[in-house]
Amino acid sequence: MHPSLFNQTPVELAAMLEGLGEPSYRGTQILEWLWQKRSTSIDEMSNLPVGLRDHLKESFSLRSLTHVRTQGSHDSTRKFLFRLQDGCHVECVLIPASPALYGERADRRTLCVSSQVGCAYGCKFCASGLDGFSRNLTADEIAGQVLLAEELSGEKVNNIVFMGMGEPLANLSQLLKALELITAPWGLGIGARRLTVSTAGLVPQIRKLADHPQQIRLAISLHGASDEVRDRIMPINRKWPLSELFKALRYWTKRKKQTITLEYILIDDVNADLAQATLLAQRAKSLHAKVNLIPYNTVEGLPWKRPDDPQCRAFRDALVKSGVPATLRLEKGHDIDAACGQLRLKEEKKIRTDVD
C-alpha cells in the first residue's frame, strides 16, 4: 500500500522533487492538480513530464477513501460511510444549517469528521469505543473526508468539527498535519476559526495545542460537572480530573483569547439533575465558556437514555438563568445513527456476519 500524494505538504514535495532533480515549481503544479482540480488520477496531470508521473504512480496512491454508503435524513443531514485502503471504515456527517435556525449564518455547511478508527478512551455512553481502538487516521484520510463529502454532495464545506469517531488529540501529529492541509491556501483553504477540535480532555495535548499558532477552536466533552459523575461515565477523568482539566482550559483561554465550548450530553439519571446544572454553571462561568447541551442519542446495546424534553429545557433554563450562554441542540440526525461510531459499528458487524 502506497502513501497518498494528498499527504504531502509543499515542504515534503520540494524535498522529493529536489531528490529527483526536478524544478521546485512542479510542487505547485502537483498541489494544484490535487486540491484545486481534485484529480482522480496521476495520468491526468498533463503538465508534468511523463517520467515524473511514472515515478509518482510507483510511489503514491491518490485517493485514501472510497464511498460505501450514504444515509440521508429528512432534515437533509447526511451521514457518509467511507472505506480506507486497508479495509477499515470511518464515517462523517454533513450538517447543513437551516435558515430558520441560523439566520445570516444560513450558508454554514458543517462536516463532522473522524480522526481515528475506533477509540481507546472507552466513554461509557459512546458507540465509537465499543469495538475498541484500531488505528490513527493519517492527515490525508482526515482531509480526504472533506474532499469526498464535497464530491458526493456537490456542496462546499465551510465549517469542520472534529467530533466524529476517535479522539483527535490522541492523534496529534496527524491532526496538526491535517489542519495544515485543510487551512492552507493551496489546500482546502478553510479558515482556522471555522475548525473545532473536540476532546474528551487530554490535558497535556490541550496545552500543546494551545501553544500552536493556528486559531482553531476547542470544544470539551464534559458531560459531568463533578468528578463523581464524570468518573462514572468517562474513564479519562481518573487520569485527568476536572481540576487538572480546567487548569489546562484556563491556559487555553489565556493563550488563544477565545471562548471554549463545553459539550454536555444529557443522560437520564446520570448527569441531568439541577445539582449538576448548578455546578456546571459555576464551572462555565469560571472560564467564560458557553455550553452546548445535547440530549443523549440512544445506542443499540447500551442502557443509557435521554431525559424527557421538559427536563432538558429545565436544565438549559437553569444555566441561562445563571448567566451562562447555553443552547439545547435541536435534534438533527437521530434517525441516521448520527451518534459517533454507530454506522461503522453496524457495517463492521455486517461484514463479520457475512464472513462467518
* Apex 76 CA angle, 73 and 81, nearest 5: 65
| Spacing of C-alpha 184 from chain mean position | 18
**Nearer Cβ to ligand SAH (328/339):** 339
Q: Is 343 one of the binding residues for ligand SAH (CB under 6 A)?
A: no
**Nearer Cβ to ligand SAH (111/339):** 339
Which among 150-158, 237-245, 293-301, 325-333 is the span making contact with ligand SAH, rule CB under 6 A? 293-301
Q: Is 95 one of the binding residues for ligand SAH (CB under 6 A)?
A: no
Are the CB atoms for 68 and 83 separated by under 8 Å?
A: yes
**Nearer Cβ to ligand SAH (27/333):** 333
Element (H, E) at 349: helix 342-355
Q: Is 167 one of the binding residues for ligand SAH (CB under 6 A)?
A: yes
Set 91, 141, 167, 263: catalytic member: 91
The correct pick among 113, 126, 245, 345 for binding ligand SAH (CB under 6 A) is: 126
Q: Is 7 one of the binding residues for ligand SAH (CB under 6 A)?
A: no
Exposed / middle / buried, residue 254 (Cβ in 10 Å: 0-12, 13-18, 19+)? exposed
The residue assigned the cell 451562562 is 324
Which among 101-109, 121-129, 176-184, 273-281 is the span making contact with ligand SAH, rule CB under 6 A? 121-129
Tell me, yes or no, if 91 is annotated catalytic. Answer: yes
Q: What is the CA radius of gyration of the chain?
A: 21
Q: Is 263 one of the binding residues for ligand SAH (CB under 6 A)?
A: yes
Parallel, antiparallel, or unpaired: how do β-strands 65-72 and 290-295 relate?
unpaired
58, three cell numbers: 510507483
C-alpha–C-alpha distance, residues 235 and 121, integer Å: 7
Q: Is 339 one of the binding residues for ligand SAH (CB under 6 A)?
A: yes
C-alpha–C-alpha distance, residues 218 and 259, integer Å: 8
Which among 81-89, 118-126, 171-179, 269-277 is the span making contact with ligand SAH, rule CB under 6 A? 118-126
The residue assigned the cell 532533480 is 21
The correct pick among 163, 181, 206, 319 for binding ligand SAH (CB under 6 A) is: 163
Look up residue 124 and give its DSSP letter: T
Q: Is 265 one of the binding residues for ligand SAH (CB under 6 A)?
A: yes
Q: Furthest-apart CA pair in the chain: how many Å?
A: 69
Backbone angles phi, psi at 136, to 5 degrees: -75, 150
Which among 176-184, 210-218, 270-278, 292-300 is the span making contact with ligand SAH, rule CB under 6 A? 292-300
Q: Measure the N-to-C terminal CA separation of the chain; round to a whole number of Å.
A: 26
**Nearer Cβ to ligand SAH (27/129):** 129
**Nearer Cβ to ligand SAH (4/171):** 171
Are the CB atoms for 172 and 205 separated by under 8 Å?
A: yes
The correct pick among 297, 316, 328, 344 for binding ligand SAH (CB under 6 A) is: 297
C-alpha–C-alpha distance, residues 161 and 140, integer Å: 16
The correct pick among 35, 80, 125, 252 for binding ligand SAH (CB under 6 A) is: 125
Residues 201-260 that bind ligand SAH (CB under 6 A): 221
Which amino acid does the sequence have at 204?
A: P
**Nearer Cβ to ligand SAH (174/198):** 198
State the nearest-atom distance from the C-beta of 248 to ligand SAH, in Å: 14
Task: Give the count of residues interacting with ligand SAH (CB under 6 A).
Answer: 17
Q: Is 264 one of the binding residues for ligand SAH (CB under 6 A)?
A: no
36, three cell numbers: 484545486
Are the CB atoms for 192 and 162 separated by under 8 Å?
A: no
Tell me, yes or no, if 155 is annotated catalytic. Answer: no
Give one DSSP letter per residue of 41-53, joined into a string.
-GGG-TTS-HHHH
Set 112, 119, 312, 340: catalytic member: 340
State the nearest-atom distance from the C-beta of 301 to ligand SAH, in Å: 11
Using CB under 6 A as the criterion, which residues of the chain lie in contact with ligand SAH when the complex forms?
123, 125-126, 163, 167, 198-200, 221, 263, 265, 294, 296-297, 299, 339-340
Query: Which residues are marked as active site?
Result: 91, 340
